[in-house]
Chains A and B, each alone.
Chain A
Amino acid sequence: MAAAAATAVVGVALIFAFVLQTAWPVLTRVGIAQFIFGDTWYPTRGRFGLLPLVAGSAALLLGALLLGAPAGVMTAIFLSEYCPKRLASLLRPAIDLLAGIPSVIYGFFGLISIVPIVRSVFGGAGFGPVAGSLILAVMILPTITSVSRDALEAVPRDYRLGGLALGATQWRTVYDVVVPSAWSGIVTSVVLGVGRAVGETMAVLMVIGNAPRFPRAAGQPISALTSQVALDMAYASGDHRTALFGIAALLLFITMGLVGVGRLTVRRQARQGRRR
Protein backbone atom coordinates (compact mmCIF):
# COMPACT_ATOMS: atom_id res chain seq x y z
CA MET A 1 0.00 0.00 0.00
CA ALA A 2 2.74 2.41 1.03
CA ALA A 3 4.74 1.31 -1.99
CA ALA A 4 1.81 2.00 -4.28
CA ALA A 5 1.34 5.43 -2.76
CA ALA A 6 5.04 6.13 -3.17
CA THR A 7 4.88 5.05 -6.81
CA ALA A 8 2.00 7.41 -7.42
CA VAL A 9 3.80 10.34 -5.82
CA VAL A 10 7.04 9.62 -7.68
CA GLY A 11 5.10 9.21 -10.92
CA VAL A 12 3.42 12.59 -10.57
CA ALA A 13 6.72 14.25 -9.66
CA LEU A 14 8.44 12.68 -12.67
CA ILE A 15 5.72 13.81 -15.06
CA PHE A 16 5.95 17.30 -13.65
CA ALA A 17 9.73 17.43 -13.92
CA PHE A 18 9.70 16.04 -17.43
CA VAL A 19 7.04 18.41 -18.74
CA LEU A 20 8.60 21.46 -17.13
CA GLN A 21 12.09 20.59 -18.31
CA THR A 22 10.95 20.06 -21.89
CA ALA A 23 8.97 23.29 -21.87
CA TRP A 24 11.73 25.32 -20.27
CA PRO A 25 13.51 26.62 -23.43
CA VAL A 26 10.41 28.18 -24.90
CA LEU A 27 9.26 29.52 -21.55
CA THR A 28 12.51 31.38 -21.06
CA ARG A 29 12.70 32.56 -24.67
CA VAL A 30 9.14 33.87 -24.85
CA GLY A 31 8.83 34.75 -21.18
CA ILE A 32 6.21 33.15 -18.94
CA ALA A 33 3.97 36.24 -18.88
CA GLN A 34 4.10 36.66 -22.63
CA PHE A 35 3.45 32.93 -23.04
CA ILE A 36 0.32 32.91 -20.92
CA PHE A 37 -1.01 36.39 -21.68
CA GLY A 38 0.09 36.88 -25.28
CA ASP A 39 -2.96 37.34 -27.46
CA THR A 40 -1.91 35.48 -30.58
CA TRP A 41 -1.31 31.77 -31.06
CA TYR A 42 0.39 31.40 -34.44
CA PRO A 43 3.19 28.93 -33.71
CA THR A 44 4.46 28.58 -37.27
CA ARG A 45 5.24 32.32 -37.20
CA GLY A 46 6.77 32.16 -33.77
CA ARG A 47 3.77 33.67 -31.93
CA PHE A 48 3.19 31.66 -28.76
CA GLY A 49 0.46 33.58 -26.91
CA LEU A 50 -1.93 31.27 -25.04
CA LEU A 51 -4.59 33.78 -24.08
CA PRO A 52 -7.05 32.84 -26.87
CA LEU A 53 -6.73 29.18 -25.85
CA VAL A 54 -7.06 30.00 -22.15
CA ALA A 55 -10.13 32.08 -22.95
CA GLY A 56 -11.52 29.26 -25.07
CA SER A 57 -10.99 26.71 -22.31
CA ALA A 58 -12.45 29.07 -19.72
CA ALA A 59 -15.56 29.67 -21.85
CA LEU A 60 -16.04 25.94 -22.30
CA LEU A 61 -15.56 25.21 -18.59
CA LEU A 62 -17.82 28.02 -17.48
CA GLY A 63 -20.52 26.90 -19.89
CA ALA A 64 -20.15 23.27 -18.84
CA LEU A 65 -20.27 24.31 -15.18
CA LEU A 66 -23.35 26.51 -15.57
CA LEU A 67 -25.22 23.80 -17.46
CA GLY A 68 -23.81 20.61 -15.97
CA ALA A 69 -23.61 21.45 -12.27
CA PRO A 70 -27.27 22.40 -11.73
CA ALA A 71 -28.45 19.56 -13.94
CA GLY A 72 -26.21 17.04 -12.18
CA VAL A 73 -27.12 18.20 -8.67
CA MET A 74 -30.83 18.33 -9.46
CA THR A 75 -30.63 14.81 -10.87
CA ALA A 76 -28.90 13.66 -7.69
CA ILE A 77 -31.57 15.31 -5.53
CA PHE A 78 -34.29 13.69 -7.58
CA LEU A 79 -32.66 10.27 -7.31
CA SER A 80 -31.98 10.39 -3.60
CA GLU A 81 -35.03 12.26 -2.31
CA TYR A 82 -37.96 11.88 -4.66
CA CYS A 83 -37.51 8.98 -7.00
CA PRO A 84 -39.13 5.65 -6.07
CA LYS A 85 -36.51 3.04 -5.14
CA ARG A 86 -37.31 0.80 -8.10
CA LEU A 87 -36.89 3.58 -10.61
CA ALA A 88 -33.67 4.72 -8.91
CA SER A 89 -32.20 1.25 -9.24
CA LEU A 90 -32.87 1.44 -12.98
CA LEU A 91 -31.56 4.97 -13.42
CA ARG A 92 -28.37 4.54 -11.45
CA PRO A 93 -26.67 2.08 -13.85
CA ALA A 94 -27.90 4.13 -16.79
CA ILE A 95 -26.17 7.20 -15.41
CA ASP A 96 -23.03 5.26 -14.57
CA LEU A 97 -23.00 3.99 -18.12
CA LEU A 98 -23.01 7.59 -19.30
CA ALA A 99 -19.67 8.01 -17.53
CA GLY A 100 -18.19 5.02 -19.31
CA ILE A 101 -18.99 6.04 -22.87
CA PRO A 102 -15.76 6.80 -24.80
CA SER A 103 -15.45 10.49 -25.49
CA VAL A 104 -15.12 10.01 -29.26
CA ILE A 105 -18.69 8.85 -29.22
CA TYR A 106 -19.74 12.02 -27.41
CA GLY A 107 -17.83 13.86 -30.10
CA PHE A 108 -19.76 12.14 -32.88
CA PHE A 109 -23.00 12.79 -31.11
CA GLY A 110 -22.11 16.47 -30.82
CA LEU A 111 -21.02 16.63 -34.42
CA ILE A 112 -24.18 15.21 -35.91
CA SER A 113 -26.78 16.56 -33.50
CA ILE A 114 -25.60 19.49 -31.39
CA VAL A 115 -23.53 21.40 -33.93
CA PRO A 116 -26.40 21.61 -36.49
CA ILE A 117 -28.80 22.72 -33.76
CA VAL A 118 -26.42 25.45 -32.59
CA ARG A 119 -25.95 26.49 -36.20
CA SER A 120 -29.68 26.90 -36.80
CA VAL A 121 -30.34 28.61 -33.46
CA PHE A 122 -27.34 30.94 -33.18
CA GLY A 123 -26.12 31.10 -36.78
CA GLY A 124 -22.45 30.84 -37.75
CA ALA A 125 -20.68 27.55 -38.23
CA GLY A 126 -22.26 25.87 -35.23
CA PHE A 127 -18.83 24.73 -34.07
CA GLY A 128 -17.78 26.73 -31.04
CA PRO A 129 -18.22 27.40 -27.33
CA VAL A 130 -21.91 26.49 -27.05
CA ALA A 131 -21.60 23.12 -28.74
CA GLY A 132 -18.46 22.37 -26.69
CA SER A 133 -20.09 23.41 -23.41
CA LEU A 134 -23.16 21.32 -24.08
CA ILE A 135 -21.12 18.22 -24.78
CA LEU A 136 -18.94 18.80 -21.73
CA ALA A 137 -22.02 19.36 -19.57
CA VAL A 138 -23.41 15.98 -20.59
CA MET A 139 -20.03 14.35 -19.99
CA ILE A 140 -19.58 15.69 -16.46
CA LEU A 141 -23.18 15.07 -15.43
CA PRO A 142 -22.65 11.44 -14.34
CA THR A 143 -19.67 12.38 -12.15
CA ILE A 144 -21.55 15.21 -10.49
CA THR A 145 -24.70 13.15 -10.10
CA SER A 146 -23.12 10.07 -8.59
CA VAL A 147 -20.82 11.89 -6.15
CA SER A 148 -23.58 14.31 -5.10
CA ARG A 149 -26.02 11.50 -4.69
CA ASP A 150 -23.68 9.59 -2.40
CA ALA A 151 -23.31 12.73 -0.30
CA LEU A 152 -27.08 13.24 -0.13
CA GLU A 153 -27.73 9.65 0.80
CA ALA A 154 -25.18 9.87 3.60
CA VAL A 155 -27.27 12.56 5.33
CA PRO A 156 -28.86 10.93 8.40
CA ARG A 157 -32.51 10.07 7.98
CA ASP A 158 -33.16 11.85 11.25
CA TYR A 159 -32.46 15.20 9.60
CA ARG A 160 -35.20 14.61 7.10
CA LEU A 161 -37.59 13.36 9.77
CA GLY A 162 -36.66 16.31 11.95
CA GLY A 163 -37.61 18.75 9.22
CA LEU A 164 -40.82 17.03 8.22
CA ALA A 165 -41.86 16.54 11.85
CA LEU A 166 -41.70 20.31 12.27
CA GLY A 167 -44.43 20.64 9.70
CA ALA A 168 -42.16 21.67 6.84
CA THR A 169 -42.75 20.62 3.26
CA GLN A 170 -40.49 18.00 1.78
CA TRP A 171 -38.97 20.47 -0.63
CA ARG A 172 -38.02 22.87 2.16
CA THR A 173 -36.55 20.01 4.16
CA VAL A 174 -34.54 18.96 1.15
CA TYR A 175 -33.13 22.33 0.18
CA ASP A 176 -32.67 23.77 3.64
CA VAL A 177 -31.52 20.75 5.64
CA VAL A 178 -30.46 17.88 3.42
CA VAL A 179 -28.61 19.82 0.72
CA PRO A 180 -26.63 22.01 3.18
CA SER A 181 -25.67 18.88 5.13
CA ALA A 182 -24.33 17.33 1.96
CA TRP A 183 -22.75 20.54 0.71
CA SER A 184 -19.11 19.48 0.88
CA GLY A 185 -19.86 16.38 -1.15
CA ILE A 186 -21.79 18.42 -3.68
CA VAL A 187 -18.92 20.90 -4.06
CA THR A 188 -16.50 18.00 -4.40
CA SER A 189 -18.67 16.50 -7.12
CA VAL A 190 -18.61 19.75 -9.06
CA VAL A 191 -14.84 20.11 -8.65
CA LEU A 192 -14.38 16.54 -9.88
CA GLY A 193 -16.69 17.25 -12.79
CA VAL A 194 -14.77 20.37 -13.74
CA GLY A 195 -11.56 18.40 -13.41
CA ARG A 196 -12.90 15.93 -15.90
CA ALA A 197 -13.96 18.75 -18.22
CA VAL A 198 -10.48 20.35 -18.06
CA GLY A 199 -8.83 17.16 -19.21
CA GLU A 200 -11.39 16.30 -21.85
CA THR A 201 -9.85 16.57 -25.32
CA MET A 202 -11.44 14.35 -27.88
CA ALA A 203 -15.12 15.26 -27.77
CA VAL A 204 -14.30 18.94 -27.44
CA LEU A 205 -11.90 18.82 -30.36
CA MET A 206 -14.64 17.45 -32.59
CA VAL A 207 -17.18 20.20 -31.94
CA ILE A 208 -15.39 23.50 -31.31
CA GLY A 209 -13.89 24.11 -34.74
CA ASN A 210 -10.33 24.52 -33.43
CA ALA A 211 -9.52 28.05 -34.47
CA PRO A 212 -7.32 29.71 -31.83
CA ARG A 213 -9.42 32.85 -31.54
CA PHE A 214 -11.10 34.59 -28.66
CA PRO A 215 -14.65 33.35 -28.12
CA ARG A 216 -17.00 35.99 -29.51
CA ALA A 217 -20.11 34.23 -30.74
CA ALA A 218 -22.02 31.08 -29.78
CA GLY A 219 -21.46 29.36 -33.10
CA GLN A 220 -17.96 30.56 -34.03
CA PRO A 221 -14.96 28.23 -33.82
CA ILE A 222 -12.62 28.53 -30.86
CA SER A 223 -9.84 26.38 -29.54
CA ALA A 224 -8.94 25.01 -26.14
CA LEU A 225 -5.67 24.16 -24.38
CA THR A 226 -6.09 20.40 -24.49
CA SER A 227 -7.44 20.11 -28.01
CA GLN A 228 -4.72 22.37 -29.36
CA VAL A 229 -2.03 20.11 -27.92
CA ALA A 230 -3.67 17.03 -29.38
CA LEU A 231 -4.03 18.62 -32.80
CA ASP A 232 -0.56 20.15 -33.08
CA MET A 233 1.44 17.32 -31.57
CA ALA A 234 1.21 15.37 -34.84
CA TYR A 235 3.31 17.83 -36.82
CA ALA A 236 4.88 20.35 -34.44
CA SER A 237 8.64 20.66 -34.19
CA GLY A 238 11.20 22.98 -32.59
CA ASP A 239 9.81 25.76 -30.42
CA HIS A 240 6.27 24.89 -31.44
CA ARG A 241 6.73 21.43 -29.97
CA THR A 242 8.24 22.72 -26.74
CA ALA A 243 5.42 25.26 -26.48
CA LEU A 244 2.97 22.36 -26.44
CA PHE A 245 4.78 21.08 -23.36
CA GLY A 246 4.34 24.54 -21.92
CA ILE A 247 0.59 24.13 -22.39
CA ALA A 248 0.79 20.73 -20.71
CA ALA A 249 2.54 22.34 -17.73
CA LEU A 250 -0.19 24.97 -17.49
CA LEU A 251 -2.84 22.23 -17.56
CA LEU A 252 -1.04 20.42 -14.76
CA PHE A 253 -1.08 23.57 -12.64
CA ILE A 254 -4.79 24.13 -13.31
CA THR A 255 -5.56 20.54 -12.29
CA MET A 256 -3.51 20.93 -9.13
CA GLY A 257 -5.41 24.09 -8.31
CA LEU A 258 -8.71 22.26 -8.70
CA VAL A 259 -7.61 19.41 -6.47
CA GLY A 260 -6.52 22.00 -3.91
CA VAL A 261 -9.91 23.71 -4.01
CA GLY A 262 -11.60 20.34 -3.58
CA ARG A 263 -9.50 19.44 -0.55
CA LEU A 264 -10.04 22.82 1.03
CA THR A 265 -13.81 22.61 0.83
CA VAL A 266 -13.83 19.10 2.21
CA ARG A 267 -11.61 20.09 5.12
CA ARG A 268 -13.64 23.19 5.91
CA GLN A 269 -16.81 21.16 5.92
CA ALA A 270 -15.23 18.51 8.12
CA ARG A 271 -14.51 21.20 10.70
CA GLN A 272 -18.05 22.55 10.58
CA GLY A 273 -19.73 19.18 10.69
CA ARG A 274 -17.84 17.87 13.69
CA ARG A 275 -20.27 16.20 16.04
CA ARG A 276 -19.89 16.03 19.79
Chain B
Amino acid sequence: MSEYAIELRNVSVAYGDCQCLADVSLAIPINSVVALIGPSGCGKSTLIRSMNRTNELVAKTVTTGEVNFGGRDVYGSRMDLRELRERIGMVFQRPNPFPKSIFDNVAWGLRSNGIRGRKRLEEAVERSLRAAALWDAVSSKLDQPALGLSGGQQQRLCIARALAVEPEILLMDEPCSALDPIATQRIEDLIDELKERYTIVIVTHNMQQAARIADFTAFLMAEQPHEPSRIVEFGRSVEIFTRPGDERTEAYVTGRFG
Protein backbone atom coordinates (compact mmCIF):
# COMPACT_ATOMS: atom_id res chain seq x y z
CA MET B 1 0.00 0.00 0.00
CA SER B 2 1.49 3.25 -1.15
CA GLU B 3 1.47 6.28 1.12
CA TYR B 4 0.58 8.38 -1.90
CA ALA B 5 -2.93 8.86 -3.21
CA ILE B 6 -1.67 9.65 -6.67
CA GLU B 7 1.80 9.90 -8.08
CA LEU B 8 2.89 11.67 -11.26
CA ARG B 9 6.16 10.68 -12.90
CA ASN B 10 7.66 12.78 -15.66
CA VAL B 11 4.29 13.90 -16.90
CA SER B 12 4.27 16.15 -19.97
CA VAL B 13 1.17 17.58 -21.59
CA ALA B 14 0.90 19.23 -24.99
CA TYR B 15 -1.99 20.99 -26.67
CA GLY B 16 -1.35 20.20 -30.32
CA ASP B 17 2.23 21.25 -30.86
CA CYS B 18 2.22 23.64 -27.92
CA GLN B 19 4.00 21.95 -25.05
CA CYS B 20 2.37 23.11 -21.81
CA LEU B 21 3.89 20.98 -19.04
CA ALA B 22 7.21 19.16 -19.02
CA ASP B 23 8.53 16.46 -16.73
CA VAL B 24 6.23 17.06 -13.83
CA SER B 25 6.80 14.64 -10.99
CA LEU B 26 4.57 15.01 -8.00
CA ALA B 27 3.56 12.61 -5.24
CA ILE B 28 0.41 13.52 -3.36
CA PRO B 29 0.34 12.02 0.15
CA ILE B 30 -2.90 10.39 1.27
CA ASN B 31 -5.22 12.60 3.35
CA SER B 32 -3.29 15.76 2.66
CA VAL B 33 -4.21 19.01 1.01
CA VAL B 34 -1.86 19.93 -1.82
CA ALA B 35 -2.00 23.37 -3.41
CA LEU B 36 -0.85 24.09 -6.95
CA ILE B 37 0.28 27.67 -7.41
CA GLY B 38 1.91 29.59 -10.22
CA PRO B 39 1.45 32.51 -12.59
CA SER B 40 -1.61 32.64 -14.81
CA GLY B 41 -1.41 30.35 -17.81
CA CYS B 42 1.41 28.25 -16.39
CA GLY B 43 -0.66 25.08 -16.63
CA LYS B 44 -2.16 24.55 -13.18
CA SER B 45 -5.54 23.61 -14.59
CA THR B 46 -3.88 21.38 -17.15
CA LEU B 47 -1.92 19.64 -14.41
CA ILE B 48 -4.93 19.05 -12.16
CA ARG B 49 -6.99 17.82 -15.12
CA SER B 50 -4.25 15.38 -16.06
CA MET B 51 -5.03 13.48 -12.86
CA ASN B 52 -8.55 12.43 -13.85
CA ARG B 53 -8.02 12.64 -17.59
CA THR B 54 -10.38 15.51 -18.21
CA ASN B 55 -7.88 17.40 -20.38
CA GLU B 56 -8.98 15.25 -23.25
CA LEU B 57 -12.56 16.45 -22.77
CA VAL B 58 -11.48 20.07 -23.12
CA ALA B 59 -9.13 19.94 -26.08
CA LYS B 60 -6.91 17.65 -28.07
CA THR B 61 -4.01 16.86 -25.77
CA VAL B 62 -1.10 14.48 -25.75
CA THR B 63 0.04 13.30 -22.34
CA THR B 64 3.21 11.34 -21.76
CA GLY B 65 4.73 9.99 -18.57
CA GLU B 66 2.98 8.02 -15.89
CA VAL B 67 0.23 8.84 -13.45
CA ASN B 68 0.07 6.12 -10.84
CA PHE B 69 -3.25 5.79 -9.07
CA GLY B 70 -3.88 2.79 -6.85
CA GLY B 71 -1.10 0.81 -8.50
CA ARG B 72 -2.36 1.41 -12.01
CA ASP B 73 -1.36 3.84 -14.74
CA VAL B 74 -4.15 6.33 -15.31
CA TYR B 75 -3.08 6.64 -18.94
CA GLY B 76 -2.69 2.88 -19.41
CA SER B 77 -4.87 1.13 -21.93
CA ARG B 78 -6.71 -0.87 -19.26
CA MET B 79 -7.88 2.19 -17.34
CA ASP B 80 -11.65 2.51 -17.10
CA LEU B 81 -12.34 6.23 -17.44
CA ARG B 82 -15.71 6.03 -15.75
CA GLU B 83 -14.23 4.35 -12.73
CA LEU B 84 -11.29 6.74 -12.67
CA ARG B 85 -13.49 9.83 -12.66
CA GLU B 86 -15.74 8.30 -10.06
CA ARG B 87 -12.80 7.72 -7.73
CA ILE B 88 -11.24 11.11 -8.45
CA GLY B 89 -13.90 13.78 -8.08
CA MET B 90 -13.66 17.29 -9.42
CA VAL B 91 -14.95 20.73 -8.48
CA PHE B 92 -14.77 23.55 -10.99
CA GLN B 93 -13.94 27.23 -10.86
CA ARG B 94 -17.47 28.39 -11.54
CA PRO B 95 -20.11 26.51 -9.56
CA ASN B 96 -21.88 24.32 -12.12
CA PRO B 97 -24.92 22.75 -10.48
CA PHE B 98 -27.22 21.16 -13.02
CA PRO B 99 -30.56 22.89 -13.63
CA LYS B 100 -32.31 20.33 -11.43
CA SER B 101 -33.42 20.09 -7.83
CA ILE B 102 -30.91 20.08 -4.99
CA PHE B 103 -31.66 16.41 -4.33
CA ASP B 104 -31.30 15.41 -7.97
CA ASN B 105 -27.99 17.23 -8.20
CA VAL B 106 -26.46 15.32 -5.32
CA ALA B 107 -28.01 12.01 -6.37
CA TRP B 108 -26.96 12.47 -9.99
CA GLY B 109 -23.66 10.63 -9.87
CA LEU B 110 -25.14 7.72 -7.92
CA ARG B 111 -28.04 7.39 -10.31
CA SER B 112 -25.68 7.32 -13.25
CA ASN B 113 -24.03 4.34 -11.54
CA GLY B 114 -27.38 2.61 -11.61
CA ILE B 115 -28.26 3.15 -7.94
CA ARG B 116 -32.02 3.59 -7.80
CA GLY B 117 -33.28 2.71 -4.30
CA ARG B 118 -34.95 5.77 -2.80
CA LYS B 119 -33.72 4.95 0.69
CA ARG B 120 -30.12 4.57 -0.37
CA LEU B 121 -30.22 7.76 -2.38
CA GLU B 122 -31.75 9.70 0.49
CA GLU B 123 -29.07 8.48 2.89
CA ALA B 124 -26.28 9.32 0.47
CA VAL B 125 -27.70 12.75 -0.26
CA GLU B 126 -27.97 13.60 3.43
CA ARG B 127 -24.49 12.28 4.19
CA SER B 128 -22.95 14.22 1.30
CA LEU B 129 -24.76 17.45 2.10
CA ARG B 130 -23.68 17.16 5.74
CA ALA B 131 -20.11 16.53 4.66
CA ALA B 132 -20.30 19.65 2.50
CA ALA B 133 -21.71 21.67 5.44
CA LEU B 134 -24.84 22.43 3.47
CA TRP B 135 -27.40 20.13 5.09
CA ASP B 136 -28.76 22.59 7.63
CA ALA B 137 -29.33 25.23 4.99
CA VAL B 138 -31.11 23.04 2.46
CA SER B 139 -32.62 20.05 4.27
CA SER B 140 -36.09 21.57 4.13
CA LYS B 141 -35.97 22.42 0.43
CA LEU B 142 -34.29 19.50 -1.27
CA ASP B 143 -36.81 19.54 -4.09
CA GLN B 144 -36.15 23.15 -5.01
CA PRO B 145 -33.99 24.20 -7.96
CA ALA B 146 -30.28 24.19 -7.22
CA LEU B 147 -29.89 27.35 -9.25
CA GLY B 148 -31.84 29.23 -6.58
CA LEU B 149 -28.97 28.82 -4.10
CA SER B 150 -26.33 31.49 -3.53
CA GLY B 151 -22.99 31.16 -5.29
CA GLY B 152 -21.23 29.82 -2.22
CA GLN B 153 -24.03 27.35 -1.55
CA GLN B 154 -23.94 26.26 -5.17
CA GLN B 155 -20.24 25.55 -4.86
CA ARG B 156 -20.79 23.52 -1.69
CA LEU B 157 -23.55 21.69 -3.52
CA CYS B 158 -21.06 20.83 -6.23
CA ILE B 159 -18.70 19.54 -3.56
CA ALA B 160 -21.54 17.45 -2.09
CA ARG B 161 -22.34 16.15 -5.56
CA ALA B 162 -18.73 15.09 -6.01
CA LEU B 163 -18.59 13.51 -2.52
CA ALA B 164 -21.78 11.51 -3.09
CA VAL B 165 -20.00 9.01 -5.34
CA GLU B 166 -17.41 8.52 -2.58
CA PRO B 167 -14.23 9.51 -4.35
CA GLU B 168 -10.80 9.05 -2.83
CA ILE B 169 -9.36 12.24 -4.24
CA LEU B 170 -11.04 15.60 -4.73
CA LEU B 171 -9.60 17.92 -7.37
CA MET B 172 -10.54 21.58 -7.01
CA ASP B 173 -9.63 24.12 -9.65
CA GLU B 174 -9.87 27.59 -8.07
CA PRO B 175 -13.06 26.64 -6.25
CA CYS B 176 -13.34 30.00 -4.50
CA SER B 177 -12.47 32.42 -7.25
CA ALA B 178 -16.12 33.14 -8.05
CA LEU B 179 -17.08 33.52 -4.37
CA ASP B 180 -17.13 36.34 -1.85
CA PRO B 181 -14.82 36.30 1.21
CA ILE B 182 -17.39 34.78 3.56
CA ALA B 183 -18.31 31.97 1.18
CA THR B 184 -14.59 31.46 0.59
CA GLN B 185 -13.99 31.15 4.31
CA ARG B 186 -16.66 28.47 4.57
CA ILE B 187 -15.15 26.45 1.73
CA GLU B 188 -11.74 26.70 3.38
CA ASP B 189 -13.18 25.43 6.66
CA LEU B 190 -14.83 22.65 4.73
CA ILE B 191 -11.59 21.63 3.04
CA ASP B 192 -9.99 21.45 6.44
CA GLU B 193 -12.66 18.99 7.59
CA LEU B 194 -12.66 16.98 4.39
CA LYS B 195 -8.97 16.18 4.51
CA GLU B 196 -9.59 13.73 7.34
CA ARG B 197 -11.19 11.44 4.81
CA TYR B 198 -10.14 12.64 1.39
CA THR B 199 -7.02 13.67 -0.41
CA ILE B 200 -7.44 17.12 -1.88
CA VAL B 201 -5.58 18.84 -4.69
CA ILE B 202 -6.46 22.50 -5.07
CA VAL B 203 -5.42 25.15 -7.57
CA THR B 204 -5.42 28.65 -6.15
CA HIS B 205 -4.23 32.11 -7.00
CA ASN B 206 -4.52 33.19 -3.42
CA MET B 207 -1.23 32.78 -1.55
CA GLN B 208 -2.82 33.27 1.87
CA GLN B 209 -5.33 30.58 1.04
CA ALA B 210 -2.64 28.13 -0.01
CA ALA B 211 -0.64 28.90 3.13
CA ARG B 212 -3.71 28.48 5.34
CA ILE B 213 -5.18 25.27 4.03
CA ALA B 214 -2.50 23.30 2.19
CA ASP B 215 -0.12 20.88 3.86
CA PHE B 216 2.03 20.86 0.75
CA THR B 217 2.45 23.35 -2.05
CA ALA B 218 3.79 22.93 -5.56
CA PHE B 219 5.01 26.01 -7.42
CA LEU B 220 4.76 25.72 -11.18
CA MET B 221 6.39 28.02 -13.71
CA ALA B 222 8.05 28.21 -17.12
CA GLU B 223 11.69 29.18 -17.17
CA GLN B 224 11.21 31.26 -20.28
CA PRO B 225 8.06 32.51 -21.90
CA HIS B 226 6.83 30.01 -24.55
CA GLU B 227 8.59 27.19 -22.82
CA PRO B 228 6.74 24.43 -21.02
CA SER B 229 6.22 24.87 -17.30
CA ARG B 230 7.94 22.70 -14.74
CA ILE B 231 7.67 22.24 -11.02
CA VAL B 232 10.04 24.82 -9.55
CA GLU B 233 9.56 23.71 -6.00
CA PHE B 234 7.42 21.26 -4.08
CA GLY B 235 7.40 20.93 -0.33
CA ARG B 236 5.60 21.57 2.92
CA SER B 237 3.63 24.79 2.70
CA VAL B 238 5.43 26.28 5.71
CA GLU B 239 8.71 25.82 3.90
CA ILE B 240 7.46 27.18 0.59
CA PHE B 241 5.93 30.25 2.16
CA THR B 242 8.54 31.04 4.79
CA ARG B 243 11.82 29.59 3.59
CA PRO B 244 11.51 28.92 -0.14
CA GLY B 245 14.54 27.18 -1.61
CA ASP B 246 14.31 28.86 -4.97
CA GLU B 247 14.43 32.57 -5.54
CA ARG B 248 11.68 32.43 -8.18
CA THR B 249 9.40 30.82 -5.62
CA GLU B 250 10.26 33.53 -3.15
CA ALA B 251 9.60 36.25 -5.70
CA TYR B 252 6.24 34.70 -6.55
CA VAL B 253 4.94 34.01 -3.06
CA THR B 254 5.92 37.44 -1.84
CA GLY B 255 4.05 38.93 -4.78
CA ARG B 256 7.04 40.41 -6.56
CA PHE B 257 5.78 39.08 -9.89
CA GLY B 258 3.12 36.95 -11.53
Query: Which A residues lie at the B interface, using CB under 8 A?
Result: 156-169, 172, 176-177, 180-181, 272-276
Are B151 and A276 closer than 8 Å at their CB atoms?
A: yes
Say how far A92's CB is from chain B's closest CB, in angstroms.
Answer: 21
Interchain CB contact (< 8 A) of B112 among A176, A181, A276:
A176
Residues of chain B within 8 A (CB-CB) of A177 are 98, 108
Interchain CB contact (< 8 A) of B57 among A164, A180, A273, A275:
A164
Are B147 and A274 closer than 8 Å at their CB atoms?
A: yes
Can you add 19 more A-B contacts, CB < 8 Å, to A163-B108, A165-B89, A167-B85? Answer: A156-B96, A159-B96, A161-B57, A162-B98, A162-B161, A163-B112, A164-B54, A165-B52, A166-B89, A166-B162, A167-B82, A167-B83, A167-B109, A167-B165, A168-B82, A168-B109, A177-B108, A180-B99, A272-B147
For chain B, the bracket of interface size reads 20 to 34
* B221 contacts A by Cβ under 8 Å: no
Say how far B132's CB is from chain A's closest CB, in angstroms.
Answer: 15
CA distance A273 to B158 in the complex (A): 17
CA distance A172 to B99 in the complex (A): 15
* B94 contacts A by Cβ under 8 Å: yes
Interchain CB contact (< 8 A) of A166 among B100, B150, B161:
B161
Are A169 and B99 closer than 8 Å at their CB atoms?
A: no
Q: A167-B113, A168-B82 are in contact. Are A158 and B89 (CB under 8 A)?
A: no
Residues of chain B within 8 A (CB-CB) of A176 are 108, 112
Are B85 and A181 closer than 8 Å at their CB atoms?
A: no
Residues of chain B within 8 A (CB-CB) of A275 are 147
Say how far B54's CB is from chain A's closest CB, in angstroms.
Answer: 6
Are A165 and B90 closer than 8 Å at their CB atoms?
A: yes
CA distance A276 to B145 in the complex (A): 11
Are A166 and B99 closer than 8 Å at their CB atoms?
A: no
CB contact list, B90-132 vs A, under 8 A: 90, 92, 94, 96, 98-100, 108-109, 112-113
Are A161 and B98 closer than 8 Å at their CB atoms?
A: no
CA distance A157 to B57 in the complex (A): 10
Are B98 and A169 closer than 8 Å at their CB atoms?
A: no
* B86 contacts A by Cβ under 8 Å: yes
CA distance A162 to B106 in the complex (A): 12
Are B147 and A273 closer than 8 Å at their CB atoms?
A: yes
Interchain CB contact (< 8 A) of B85 among A158, A159, A164, A273:
A164
Are A161 and B82 closer than 8 Å at their CB atoms?
A: no
Residues of chain A within 8 A (CB-CB) of B87 are 167
Identify the 9 closest CB pairs spanning chains A and B, nearest first.
Answer: A167-B86, A158-B96, A168-B112, A166-B109, A165-B90, A167-B85, A162-B96, A167-B82, A172-B112
